[in-house]
Every structure is written in structure tokens, then in C-alpha cells.
Amino acid sequence: MRILLALLLLLLACPAPGRAQGSFTPAQRAEIVEILRRALVEDPSILREALAGFEAAEQRARTEQQRAAIARQSDALFRDPADPVRGNPNGDVTIVEFFDARCSYCKQMHPAVDALLRRDPNVRVVMKDLPILGPNSVVAARALLAAQRQGRYVAFQDALMALRAEPTEAVLREQAQRVGLDWTRLRRDMDDPAIMRRIEANLRLAQEIGVDGTPAMVIVANGTPAFVPGAVDLPQLERLVAEARGAR
């Protein structure tokens, strides 16, 4: 209906060249409305096509804005030395993954990412902890980034992504000790304000480039980065990586 209203307003509120504003008589206005009404009744595809064109234009504008934002934030996305990395640190394709340790779709996709890294030794995956699902997500993200200081980020992430229980402190302690982390040190590091600043930076970055849920990925080789919202399976991941390489 927004398109129809826009058409009516355009015809009724905007005078034709040479006409004064508001020069349509009530009868002329009624006739314009009736012509539009009949046209839409006789051929509803007019409205469908107009709506499709409007949505396509909006999507193109959003895509261009997102590409510009990704270009502005390329250093923060792809080259932040503080970020945890899985796979080959010098891989020719980089995947930046925004994830929440409590996100069921992230957990669903995690084995596919692992399988990709086993099958393709030339892929680099940059992890961006994005705790958007509540306080326990924030606690889990703090624990993961604290584990990075002990060189156990990947092992701890694997444990948490396989976890079906809530990542309460007691559960985090059990999983941390299981993968060889020093819990006393980990718990102390979790409270370091620098950890929270990194999480806040990830949240700002995600907002800047238009991430509105987890998982979300940005994939690039040397061409234009591709934004991938939502979970994908292994064949889709392999296709996206191949497309990134082919875009060079």
C-alpha cells in the first residue's frame, strides 16, 4: 500500500509543469484516484512490479552502504592483531565470523567451519565474539577472550560450541579445566576492563557494517568482500571460498 499511497500523493500533491500548486479541482482529484483504482483492479501486477522495484532499489542501496562500511572498517575486520585466528594465519582467503557462544545457529555452523579448515589448509578464520543473546553470552565471550591469553582460545571455543548447557560460571570452570586452562588466571583475566573493551569494539564494528544477528561472515581474498548473513553448510562455505578466490 505504501507504493499506491506514494503514487496518489505524487499525482495529487505535485502539480504538472505550468500548473499552480493545488490547482486540481476536487472533481479532477477524484478522477485521478478512480483511474488509479481501476488500473490496479484490472492489472494488480502494476502494484507487484512497483513494489518489487522499490524493494530491489532499497536492497541495492543497503548493499552499497554495507560495502562502503566494510571498506572503511577493513583494518578492524581483517587486520586486527588482537583477534583470535583459526586455520592458516597466512591463508589466501579470510573469513571473519561474528558469533555468539550461545547462538544455536553458530553451534550448528561450527562443525562446517572446522571441516572447511581441515579440507582447505589455505583459509584463515578471524573470530569476532559478539555476545548479543544476554548476560551469559557476555560471560562466555569474556571467558573466551581470557582463554586467548593462555593460548587456548580455539580449544575452549570448540568446547563451548559443543556445549548444550548454559555457560554459567560453574560450567565455564568445568570446561576450562577440561581443556587445560588455569581457571584462577582465567577468572582474573575475565575481569580485566581490556576484555570488555574488545567486546564493545566488536559490537560497534558489527553495527557499523550492518550485522544484525549471528552468525554472520565477511569473506575476502583480494577482491570485493562478500557479506554472508546466517548459518551456511560446508558445501556453501566451499563455494563462497572458491568465489572469493575467483574474484581476484
State which residues form the domain around 29.
2-72
Same domain, 102 and 194: yes
Question: For residue 78, is it within any domain?
Answer: no
Question: For residue 79, is it within any domain?
Answer: no
Same domain, 142 and 61: no
Same domain, 133 and 36: no
pLDDT at residue 98 tops 50: yes
The reported pLDDT for the residue numbered 28 is 74
pLDDT at residue 40 tops 80: no
Distances in Å between the Cα of 148 and the Cα atoms of 7, 18, 141, 152 are: 57, 70, 11, 5
Per-residue three-class SS string for 74-111: HHHHHCCCCCCEEECCCCCEEEEEEECCCCHHHHHHHH
Same domain, 191 and 230: yes
Question: For residue 133, is it within any domain?
Answer: yes
Question: For residue 126, is it within any domain?
Answer: yes
Cα 106–chain centre separation: 12
Range name among 107-116, 151-160, 238-247 with the lowest pLDDT average? 238-247
Percent of the chain with pLDDT over 90: 69
The reported pLDDT for the residue numbered 166 is 95
The reported pLDDT for the residue numbered 64 is 76
Highest mean pLDDT of the ranges 8-12, 62-66, 161-165 = 161-165
Question: Whole-angstrom Cα distance, residue 69 to residue 174?
Answer: 40
Distances in Å between the Cα of 245 and the Cα atoms of 122, 225, 239, 242 are: 11, 11, 10, 5
Same domain, 9 and 90: no
pLDDT at residue 207 tops 70: yes
Same domain, 152 and 229: yes
Name the residue type at position 175: Q
The reported pLDDT for the residue numbered 54 is 61
Same domain, 193 and 111: yes
Same domain, 11 and 35: yes
pLDDT at residue 2 tops 80: no
- Region 88-109: mean pLDDT is 97
The answer to whether the beta carbons of residues 241 and 219 sit under 8 Å apart is yes
Same domain, 55 and 172: no
- Region 158-176: mean pLDDT is 96
Cell of 213: 544477528
pLDDT at residue 21 tops 70: no
